[in-house]
Amino acid sequence: MVGSVAVTATDPTRATHRAVEAVWRIEAGRLIAGLARLVRDVGQAEELAQDALVIALEQWPRDGVPERPGAWLMATAKHRAVDLLRRQSRYQEKVAEIGRDLEVGQAWAEPDLDDALDDHIGDDLLRLIFTACHPVLSPESRVALTLRFLGGLSTDEIARAFLIPEPTAAQRLVRAKRTLAARKVEFELPAPAELAERLDSVLEAIFLIFNEGYAASAGEDWMRPALCEEALRLGRILAGLTPQQAEVHGLVALMEIQASRTYARSGPDGEPVLLMDQDRRRWDRLLIRRGLQALQRAESLADMPGPYTLQAAIAACHARAATPEDTDWALIAALYQVLVHRWPSPVAQLNRAVAVGMADGPAAGLAIADPLTLEPALASYPMLAAVRGDLLARLGRNDEARRQFQRAAELTRNQQEQAIFRNRADRIPPA
C-alpha cells in the first residue's frame, strides 16, 4: 500500500522511523489498553504492541506511513494475538471463554475492530492506568509501568529518567509485570469501594514522576523537565477520563502551577532561585491560567478539598501575586492549617510556620517552628534550620540566627544551597 502522505527528507528511512516513534508515543497507551481488553493480560498486551511497532519500523519506510497509523498498529497487533493463541492451541478455548463475555466476543468478531474498541477506549485506558498503578506494586514499579504503558517510553528512557542503569530499569519492568501476573491482578476497574484508595495510588505515581523532574536543577540532562511534561500529560489524560474526580484536577492544577515556574527557577549560572526571589515575568502564564482553571474545577467538585487540591490552592496564592509583596500569606497560612490538620506532616507544618511568620509576624512563626526541632523526621532537614534562622534574624536574635544558617549549610549536600546559607549567615551583623 502506498502511503497517502509523502515525506520529503534527506534520509527518508530515518524520517519515517521518527514518524513511527511519534505515532507510537501518541498511540501506545490506547493500543496496549485495547489489546489488554482482548487478551486480559497487560504484559502480553504490551508485547503484542511492541511486536506491531517493530513491524511498523520495518514496513512503513518501504510502504509509506499508513492512512490511519493507530488502526494499522491495532490490526497488526490483533493478528499477532490470534496467531499466538492459535499456536498455543488456546484459541478455541479463548473464543469459548470470551464468548461468554459478550462485549469482548463482539470485539474479536468485529470486522471494523478499531470502531468497536473506540467505544471502550476510555474505559480500557482507565483500566490500564489502574492496573499499572496497582497497590501490590512498589511506587517505583508503578512509575516504571506507567511510563512504559502510557508514556510509550523505552527502557533506556525510563532508566535515564530515574538515573538508574538500563538493566535495572529492565528488571524493574519485568518484575512488575511478573508480580501482576503472579498476584492475578485483573484488568478491571476498581470497585466503587476501592476507588479512592486505588486513585490515590495512581495520583501518587504521577506526582512521583513530576517531582523526579521538578527536583532536578537546570544544567543536568534535559530529560528531567521532560519528566514534568510527561507527568502533566498523564495527569491531563486522567482528568479527561475521570472528569468528576476532584483530586485528579487538584493534582493537575498543582503540577501546572509548579511547572509554570520552570523558566524562573534557575539563575544565569544554573543556581536555584528561591520562589520569593524569582522574576515573575518569567512565569508561564498559560500554565498558570490552566492551573487556576483546574483548581476551580477541583474546588467545585468536592465540599472538602483533598491534599492535592489544598497544595494547588497554596501554589495558586503565589501564582496570583504579581509581586512577592502581593502574596496573601494569611490565606496560605489558613490553607496549611487545614492541610496539617487532616494530613499531618512535619514538612507541611514547617511550611505553615513560614506562612504564619509572614502573616502574623516572626514570633508567631517561631512558635510553630520551634517544636519541630523535636521531630525525628526533620532532624537533618536543612530547611528547618534555615526557616528558624530567618525567623530568629527578624526577631533580632542574631547570634542564634547565624548559628541556624551555619547549621543549615552543614546539613545540606547541595553546593549551591550551601552557598546561599553561608551567605545569609555572613550577612547577619554581630549582636
CA dihedral 94, 96, 102, 104 (to 10 degrees): 10
Bridge-partner residues for 272, per DSSP? 266
Work out how close the CB of 250 gets to another protein at its nearest, in angstroms, rounded to a whole number.
Answer: 16
Identify which of residues 22 and 363 has a Cβ nearer to another protein in the complex. 22
Task: Give least dist CB 232 to another protein, A.
Answer: 7
Residue 94 or 160: which CB sits closer to another protein? Answer: 160
Closer residue to another protein in complex, CB, 220/410: 220
Query: Using an 8 Å Cβ cutoff, are 410 and 383 in contact?
Result: no
The nearer residue to another protein, 226 or 364, going by C-beta atoms, is 226
Q: How far is the CB of 353 from another protein (least distance, A)?
A: 31
Question: Shortest Cβ distance from residue 248 to another protein (Å)?
Answer: 12
> Closer to another protein at the Cβ: 242 or 327?
242
| Least distance (Å) between residue 236 CB and another protein | 4
CB of 241 to another protein, least distance (A): 7
For residue 128, which of 180, 168, 182 has the smallest C-alpha distance? 180
Q: Give 131's strand partners.
A: none
Q: Which is nearer to another protein, 232 or 339 (CB)?
A: 232
CB of 388 to another protein, least distance (A): 31
**Nearest distance in Å: CB 366, another protein:** 36
Do 359 and 317 touch, CB atoms closer than 8 A? Answer: no
- To another protein, the closest distance from the beta carbon of 251 in angstroms equals 13
Closest to another protein by CB, 41 vs 230, is: 230
The nearest distance, CB 152 to another protein, in angstroms, is 9
φ and ψ of 303, to 5 deg = -70, -45
Give the burial class of 65: count Cβ atoms within 10 A of its Cβ; 0-12 exposed, 13-18 middle, 19 or more buried: buried
Minimum CB separation of residue 359 from another protein in Å reads 32
Binding site for another protein (CB under 8 A): 4-5, 18-19, 21-23, 25-26, 67, 69, 218-220, 222, 225-226, 229-230, 232-237, 240-241, 262-263, 266-270, 286, 290
Non-local (6+) Cβ contacts of 130 within 8 A are 188, 189, 190, 198, 202
- CA atoms in the 13 A half-sphere facing the CB of 207: 20
Nearer to another protein, 97 or 220 (CB): 220
Residue 34 or 69 having the CB closest to another protein: 69
User: Which residue lies nearer to another protein by CB, 250 or 305?
Assistant: 250
Instruction: Please say which residue, 273 or 338, places its beta carbon nearer to another protein.
Output: 273
